Amino acid sequence: MAQRLHLVFGGELTDPSRSEFRDTDKIHIVGIFPNYQTAYAAWKAEAQRTVDSAHTRYFIAHLHRLRDEEREVSPTEELGG
Protein backbone atom coordinates (compact mmCIF):
# COMPACT_ATOMS: atom_id res chain seq x y z
CA MET A 1 0.00 0.00 0.00
CA ALA A 2 1.28 3.48 -0.89
CA GLN A 3 2.23 5.82 1.92
CA ARG A 4 -0.43 8.50 2.37
CA LEU A 5 0.87 11.31 4.56
CA HIS A 6 -1.50 13.44 6.64
CA LEU A 7 -0.80 16.67 8.55
CA VAL A 8 -2.68 17.47 11.77
CA PHE A 9 -2.73 21.12 12.80
CA GLY A 10 -4.94 23.62 14.55
CA GLY A 11 -5.30 26.71 16.63
CA GLU A 12 -7.55 29.57 17.58
CA LEU A 13 -9.95 30.80 14.89
CA THR A 14 -11.23 34.34 14.42
CA ASP A 15 -14.79 32.99 14.35
CA PRO A 16 -15.94 29.42 15.13
CA SER A 17 -17.99 29.34 11.91
CA ARG A 18 -14.96 30.11 9.70
CA SER A 19 -11.60 28.44 9.10
CA GLU A 20 -9.49 31.58 9.51
CA PHE A 21 -6.79 31.50 12.19
CA ARG A 22 -6.51 34.42 14.62
CA ASP A 23 -2.69 34.32 14.53
CA THR A 24 -0.94 32.11 11.98
CA ASP A 25 2.29 32.33 13.98
CA LYS A 26 0.53 30.39 16.75
CA ILE A 27 -0.77 27.49 14.64
CA HIS A 28 -0.10 24.26 16.50
CA ILE A 29 1.48 21.63 14.23
CA VAL A 30 0.63 18.31 15.87
CA GLY A 31 2.58 16.29 13.32
CA ILE A 32 2.72 14.41 10.05
CA PHE A 33 1.33 10.88 10.10
CA PRO A 34 1.79 7.94 7.71
CA ASN A 35 -1.91 7.16 7.35
CA TYR A 36 -5.37 8.51 8.07
CA GLN A 37 -5.98 6.27 11.08
CA THR A 38 -3.03 7.63 13.09
CA ALA A 39 -3.76 11.19 11.94
CA TYR A 40 -7.36 10.81 13.07
CA ALA A 41 -6.26 9.55 16.49
CA ALA A 42 -3.95 12.57 16.90
CA TRP A 43 -6.67 14.96 15.69
CA LYS A 44 -9.20 13.46 18.09
CA ALA A 45 -6.81 13.75 21.06
CA GLU A 46 -6.17 17.45 20.33
CA ALA A 47 -9.84 18.16 19.68
CA GLN A 48 -10.80 16.56 23.00
CA ARG A 49 -8.01 18.37 24.83
CA THR A 50 -9.33 21.73 23.60
CA VAL A 51 -13.05 20.95 23.78
CA ASP A 52 -13.70 23.85 26.20
CA SER A 53 -12.35 26.42 23.73
CA ALA A 54 -15.09 27.20 21.20
CA HIS A 55 -12.66 29.10 18.98
CA THR A 56 -10.04 26.33 18.77
CA ARG A 57 -10.21 23.83 15.91
CA TYR A 58 -7.94 21.10 14.58
CA PHE A 59 -7.79 19.86 11.02
CA ILE A 60 -6.41 16.94 9.02
CA ALA A 61 -4.75 17.86 5.72
CA HIS A 62 -4.31 15.07 3.19
CA LEU A 63 -0.72 15.76 2.07
CA HIS A 64 -0.73 12.82 -0.30
CA ARG A 65 -3.35 14.63 -2.40
CA LEU A 66 -1.01 17.56 -3.01
CA ARG A 67 1.34 15.57 -5.19
CA ASP A 68 0.50 13.08 -7.90
CA GLU A 69 3.55 10.91 -8.48
CA GLU A 70 2.22 9.82 -11.89
CA ARG A 71 2.05 13.42 -13.18
CA GLU A 72 4.98 14.97 -15.03
CA VAL A 73 6.95 17.38 -12.81
CA SER A 74 6.99 21.12 -13.35
CA PRO A 75 10.16 22.91 -14.50
CA THR A 76 10.80 24.19 -10.95
CA GLU A 77 10.62 20.69 -9.49
CA GLU A 78 13.13 19.51 -12.10
CA LEU A 79 15.52 22.22 -10.87
CA GLY A 80 15.02 21.14 -7.28
CA GLY A 81 12.88 24.17 -6.34
Q: What is the reported pLDDT for 72?
A: 63
Tally of domains within the chain: 1
Identify whether 51 is part of a domain.
Answer: yes
Identify whether 62 is part of a domain.
Answer: yes
Q: What is the reported pLDDT for 1?
A: 61
Instruction: Per residue of the chain (81 residues), give pLDDT as tens.
Output: 678 999 999 999 999 999 999 999 999 999 999 999 999 999 999 999 999 999 999 999 999 888 766 666 555 554 454
Q: What is the reported pLDDT for 48?
A: 96
Q: What DSSP letter does each residue of 2-71 carry, written as one string? A: ----EEEEEEEBSSTTS--BS-GGG-EEEEEESSHHHHHHHHHHHHHHTTT-TTEEEEEEEGGGG--TTS
Q: What is the reported pLDDT for 75?
A: 56
Domain that holds residue 74: 1-14+32-80
